[in-house]
A and B are shown apart, each in its own frame.
Chain A
Amino acid sequence: MENALLVGLSRQMVLERQLDVVANNVANVNTNGFKADQQLFEEYLTSGAHEDNFQASDRRVSYVQDRGTYRDVSQGPIQSTGNPLDVAINGSGYLAVQTADGERYTRDGNLHLNNTGQLVTASGDAVLGTGGPIVFQPTDHDITISPDGTVTVVEGANRADSIRGKLRIVNFADPQAAQKQGNNLYAAAGGAVPQPDTKSTIQQGSIEKSNVNAVGEMSHMVEVTRTYQQIATMLQTQSDLRKTAIEKLADVPA
């Protein structure tokens, strides 16, 4: 009798967390370079409390558990902004960023300069080039970032371009090894070592938007709510069943 309640409860707990994941995806529908999370479920079996008392078919009860969230790493739509410091990555690469906690990776190409002329992210973390942070001189103008990440400028009244560095683009052999850290940053998890990426290209003047599929998330959400309600109804039925059983069976005639 208890099993149906507990199985239902396990499903409801999983559904609640699934709605949390959907809510996070929807909240980040306009976040640059955001990658949607999807959930994975697995069945897990437990034996009944009094294994020997049950029929063989009743022995194992399967519950549901969330096994993991995996990231949809597909390319987000590229929006043209015309801003020379906006870069979109075409491919699976990440920009390397130096944060206070160490090296992190990002797909958010909304870059800025800081007061020392360093190329930084929107949070002010230095964007790393192949030779360390990329720094511009006060007289630099007309910043150009080529598809391979080479940053060139026209310095002062010069006619020729000067190279200011090359963006360090990296990727992971296992795309799921990059763990989300918030602030549009990823960290290398589980000892994964990011490798230099030569396949990804940089598109200057555009930004990669969130790859959240809004319609998909909405239908997902409806599915979660409806399933949750179904289970609530099932639990109600179970409860009624038990109530009736107690009333009927314990009804000792006087």
Chain B
Amino acid sequence: MQALHTAATGMAAQELNVQVISNNIANLRTTGFKKQTAQFQDLIYEHVRRVGAQASDQGTVLPVGIDVGGGVKTVGTPRSMTQGTLSQTGNDLDLSITGEGFFKVLMPDGTFQYTRDGTFQMDNQGRIVTAQGNPVQPTITIPQNASGITVNAQGQVSVTLPGSTTSQIIGTIQLTRFINKAGLQPVGSNQYTDTPSSGQPQDGAANAEGYGSITQGSLEQANVDVVSEMSELIAAQRAYEMNAKVITAADQMMQSTTALFR
């Protein structure tokens, strides 16, 4: 009985759906997190009778065919790269991006990763680093005893050095864009790597050509909408239960057959 396997694909799909939703809810307060949604497609159909086939030699055609589908599959869990809201922290090195770009981070193995999480700190050498201690690109070192760190919308970092009354620019944080940012691969720690799907990373200055502007003293919140996640969760759970019911129904039908002719 095909229905058993069809319903099993439905249960598997909804299980994954719940998994994706729970990950979104778990990351409700994760800075720069972008929510994912599970997307489904129907499986291949058995065309028992083909629609439009000749029904007679008079040229009449079948107005409907018999198409029996084999269930559902998950095609992907794309990320919704919409802007999250900014929350004020007042911290000098908390940066957020309004727009398309990503911060570029140099990993210990020499590769680059990209993040929307602008919770930056200074390390023991005065470099601006992520919460994991990896320097933000291009590496900017804040001189000792410098005060009044400001980062403007273009990403220019300026400080006031001791003995001076005017601030001076010591570097510019660059942003990176991707033609298909939903194609980035998440690697955890709020970071992504580029993939063949995302396209080549394009570095550029903030606030130019849609790279997005930088806001100092604020962080981008997750773009998870808890109300819609909750309603999605209910829908996924009910869909799972319904598929389980179909399995029960198919089971009952088989039972009544095997009960025959004892």
State whether A83 touches B249 (Cβ < 8 A). no
Contact of B260 among A83, A142, A236 (CB under 8 A): A236
When distances are taken between beta carbons in the complex, the residues of chain A under 8 Å from B253 are 15-16, 19, 224-225, 228-229
B143 interface residue per 8 A CB criterion: no
Task: Give the chain B neighbours of A236 by CB distance below 8 A.
Answer: 259-261
Q: How far is the CB of B195 from chain A (nearest CB, A)?
A: 8
Bound Cα distance from A225 to B70, whole angstroms? 19
Could you tell me how many residues of chain A have their Cβ less than 8 Å away from some Cβ of chain B? 76
Which residues of chain A are near B239, meaning CB under 8 Å? 26, 29-30, 214
From A26, A190, A214, A229, B51 is in contact (CB under 8 Å) with A190
Of the listed stretches B88-96, B130-138, B177-185, name the one at the interface; the rest are far from the partner chain. B177-185
Chain A residue numbers with a CB within 8 Å of B56 are none
Contacts of A4 in B (CB 8 A): none
Q: A19-B3, A182-B43 are in contact. Are A81 and B37 (CB under 8 A)?
A: yes
Considering the complex, which residues of chain A in the window 1-56 have a beta carbon less than 8 Å from any beta carbon of chain B? 12, 15-17, 19-24, 26-32, 34, 37, 39-40
Indicate the member of B80, B100, B179 with the most A CB atoms within 10 Å. Answer: B179
> 0/1 per residue, A102-130, Cβ < 8 Å to B?
00000010101111110000110000000
B156 within 8 A of A: no
Interface footprint category on B: 35 or more
CB contacts (< 8 Å) of B66 on chain A: these are 17, 39, 66-69
Mark the stretch among A90-98, A133-141, A161-169, A246-254 that contacts chain B.
A133-141
Please tell me if the beta carbons of A23 and B6 are within 8 angstroms of each other in the complex: yes
Are A27 and B180 closer than 8 Å at their CB atoms? no
State whether A68 touches B65 (Cβ < 8 A).
Answer: yes
CB nearest neighbor in B for A142:
B210
- Known contacts A19-B1, A19-B249, A138-B177; decide if A232 and B257 are in contact (CB<8 Å): yes
Answer whether residue A179 sits at the interface, using C-beta atoms and an 8 A cutoff: yes
Fill in one digit per residue for B139-158: 1 if any A CB lies within 8 Å of its CB, else 0. Answer: 00000000000000000000
| A15 contact set on B, CB distance < 8 A | 253
Which among A26, A179, A183, A228 has the highest number of chain B CB atoms within 10 Å? Answer: A26
| Complex contacts, B238 vs chain A, CB 8 Å | 214
Task: Assess whether A239 is interfacial by the CB under 8 Å rule.
Answer: yes
**Residues of the B chain whose Cβ atoms lie less than 8 Å from the Cβ of A221:** 245-246, 249
- In the complex, the 5 A-B pairs of residues with the closest C-beta atoms, listed nearest first: A190-B52, A27-B10, A68-B64, A141-B210, A24-B69
What are 9 A-B contacts with C-beta separation under 8 Å?
A: A82-B80, A115-B179, A117-B199, A179-B51, A179-B67, A189-B50, A218-B245, A229-B256, A239-B260
Besides A26-B245, A232-B260, A236-B259, 14 more A-B contacts (Cβ < 8 Å) are A19-B1, A23-B2, A26-B7, A27-B243, A28-B10, A66-B48, A81-B37, A110-B78, A113-B182, A115-B180, A117-B179, A182-B41, A232-B256, A239-B260
Residues of B at the A interface (CB closer than 8 Å) are: 1-4, 6-7, 9-10, 13-14, 17, 37, 39-45, 47-53, 61-72, 75-76, 78, 80, 82, 99-100, 177, 179-180, 182-183, 196-199, 202, 208-210, 235-236, 238-239, 242-243, 245-246, 249-250, 252-253, 256-257, 259-261
